[in-house]
Amino acid sequence: MAPSEQIKTASTPQYLTPEAVAEMLRVSPSTVYRWASSDTTMPATRVGKTVRFRADLLERWLTARTQRSRRQQIAHQSVNAGVGEVSFCGQSGTQRGGGAAAVGRPRSDHTRIRL
């Protein structure tokens, strides 16, 4: 085979142009260029001024950024609920008289308003 012939196999990665990515995501090509320059995690290959995106890596990158469903978010929060959790449920049993003294304000049972 001559060196100028391209061999296409299943393992040859497919590269997309910024315009193809923009069409796929329904954004402008300038948005894709901006993402590629500002987000270092976006799988962009740069050769000189040419930018290309490997299709398989771009698909993984997009999947990682897909928002979780509400059910998945709740499940994730319940797993991490005991770590560093602070609860504010009214007055504490150890501190009487509200929280005024805790923040350095004088405690007053009555507020006078002069008219």
Position with higher pLDDT, 45 vs 3 = 45
All structural domains of the chain with their residue ranges: 15-68
Q: How far apart (Å, rounded) are the C-alpha atoms in residues 100 and 48? A: 63
Judged against a pLDDT cut of 60, whether residue 106 lies above it is answered with no
Phi/psi of residue 52, nearest 5 degrees: -135, 155
At residue 95 the predicted structure's pLDDT band, cuts being 50, 70 and 90, is: very low
The position carrying tokens 């698909």 is 59
pLDDT tens, residue by residue, 13-60 = 899 999 999 999 999 999 999 999 999 999 999 999 899 999 999 999
Contact 45, 53 (CB under 8 A): yes
Q: How far apart (Å, rounded) are the C-alpha atoms in residues 1 and 28? A: 41
Q: Structure tokens of 25?
A: 């995501």
The position carrying tokens 């507020």 is 111
Q: What is the CATH number of domain 15-68?
A: 1.10.10
Q: How far apart (Å, rounded) are the C-alpha atoms in residues 35 and 79? A: 33
